[in-house]
Amino acid sequence: MKAKRILAAVLAVSTVSLFGCSQQKSTDVSSSGETESGTSSAQSEDLSYANVELGTSYKDLKADIKFLTHRTDMQKDDYSGKNWKSYIAEFNKKYPNITVNIEGITDYANNSLLRLQGGSDWGDIMMIPAVDKADLSTYFMPFGSLADMQKQIRFAHAWEYKDVVYGVPSVGNAQGIVYNKRIFKEAGITELPKTPDEFLSDLKLVKDKTKATPLYTNYFAQWTMGAWDGYLSGSTGNAKYMNQELLHKSNPFSNPGDSTGPYNVYKILYDAVKGGLIEKDYTTTDWESSKTKINNGDIACMVLGSWAYSQMVGAGSHGDDIGYMPFPITVGGKQYASSGADYSFGINVNSSKEKQEASMVFVKWMTEESGFAYNEGGIPIKADDNKYPDVFSSFQDIELVEDEPAAEGEEDLFNKLNADSELNINNSGNDKIMKIVEHASNGDESFDDIMKDWNAAWTKAQQKENVTVS
């Protein structure tokens, strides 16, 4: 089955970052909702995502809006892909009277949350940080009801609360591994690995037969370490796992004995470090230069979401050598890949009526006409857009797993358990992954002992929140 058909089928039944670069080739692969406190006084009663017709709605609107983004790389003129200046120039061809001002901030996960909680002057559009879903209406205006938005976009559940959608994803991701096809071939690897043991064996072949670093951790960047959390759903093949079952699971980081699940996701990293299959000095890694290094063949692979593929392709003259493969875990004879929304656009509930209207138009244009998701090597967000970039060419027999939302009444339980346990899974939990690297390198703590500590922290958090476990 072709990758496009698999992806389309999976996403049709569905209800963390930096992105990519250059244009990719294709591969075969309404009414607005109300918040709990009612609609913002500034918001037009008929303003909703579904009601905006690009090129027709608000054609004569004049407004000046600010967009707060994590994509500081796209502010640069020498960005290898399509930068913000280019996108806005195209947008202004259709809406010449809407001025979009871009403000990029570093350490976005933390700094954007501080800005958001500090008051309403952060701007008009932002990429939504890790806020409690119950607080969405405090900060953001609704795009529309869940039922309406599911007809418009994929991953509508990402920032939905009580059947109202407050965020529109910028792009969809699938979780896998960026790798250099030439280096794998030089190492004698003829088939992509499907299990942790096969992957580790392949890394050893790379070490023994090439000059490339087998697995580059990007430890020093920190945020890259948290990326390992994104593979948990795929490691189980279970769409209910992350937001429902994990919350109630006893000792979820224990060894299941079948090379699947969270235990084996993180053990791959531990074993790679212990086996000397990473960079010589993980404390000196460099994110920006790693793109060129994998393009040139100095690095064999990196564990990153599909968003990273196009950046690696555009980082040098050997873009054709870059591939993207599924994460090497097989469940019941089948491979799965976690998929979901990346950062999502949110519109300030306290902005003026005109700024909200202009913001809604810009978000819809970014989603439907900009080509952003495609340019960045991601899953398109427009519901009926089945054009996928060639990053997914190795996912022909892979089933994507999109996390189902939390059970009613437990929408913020994951956040509470994360905070109580300090594990921060899928929420900038860089420290715990960095410690895996450190302990494996130093040999001062076994992997099982690390997982024992995680289980204890998760159990204590469950007890604090009076969670029933099984």
Q: CA torsion angle for 356, 358, 362, 365 (degrees, to 10)?
A: 110
Per-residue model confidence (pLDDT) at position 109? 87
Q: Under CATH, what is the fold of the domain 30-171+343-382?
A: D-Maltodextrin-Binding Protein; domain 2 (3.40.190)
Going from the C-alpha of 458 to that of each of 160, 257, 417, the distances in angstroms are 26, 20, 7
**What are 310-345's pLDDT values in tens digits?**
889 989 999 999 999 999 999 999 999 999 999 999
Residue with tokens 């579904």: 50
* Bridge partners (DSSP) listed for residue 145: 164
| Structure-token pair, residue 7 | 């992806």
Q: Of 351, 313, 421, nearest to 140 (Cα)?
A: 351
* Beta strand segments in 272-403, E: 299-305, 322-326, 330-331, 334-341, 344-347, 399-402
Q: Of 430, 338, 322, nearest to 377 (Cα)?
A: 322
* Packing angle of the helix pair 447-464, 261-274 (nearest 10 deg): 140
Per-residue model confidence (pLDDT) at position 95? 98
Helix (H) or strand (E) holding 174: strand 172-180
Q: Which amino acid is at 110?
A: N
Per-residue model confidence (pLDDT) at position 43? 55
Q: Which residue ranges make up each domain of the chain?
A: 1-29+172-341+388-470, 30-171+343-382
Cα 185 to its chain centre, rounded Å, is 29
Sign of CA dihedral 440, 443, 447, 452: negative
Sign of CA dihedral 440, 443, 448, 451: negative
Per-residue model confidence (pLDDT) at position 45? 65
Give the whole-angstrom CA distance, residue 18 versus residue 447: 30
Q: Name the phi and psi angles at 174, rounded to 5.
A: -120, 145
Using DSSP bridges, classify how beta strands 168-169 and 330-331 pair: parallel, antiparallel or unpaired: unpaired
Per-residue model confidence (pLDDT) at position 78? 86
Per-residue model confidence (pLDDT) at position 44? 60
What does the radius of gyration of the chain's CA atoms come to, in whole angstroms? 22
User: Terminal CA-to-CA distance of the chain, rounded, Å?
Assistant: 37
Give the whole-angstrom CA distance, residue 191 versus residue 198: 10
Going from the C-alpha of 196 to that of each of 23, 270, 274, 303, 326, the distances in angstroms are 33, 11, 14, 13, 12
Q: Under CATH, what is the fold of the domain 1-29+172-341+388-470?
A: D-Maltodextrin-Binding Protein; domain 2 (3.40.190)
Going from the C-alpha of 94 to that of each of 54, 60, 249, 370, the distances in angstroms are 8, 10, 51, 11
- The answer for residues whose C-beta is within 8 angstroms of residue 365's C-beta and 6 or more apart is 54, 91, 94, 95
Those residues of the chain that have pLDDT short of 50 are 1-41
Domain 1-29+172-341+388-470 matches domain 30-171+343-382 at the CATH topology level = yes
- The answer for residues whose C-beta is within 8 angstroms of residue 384's C-beta and 6 or more apart is none
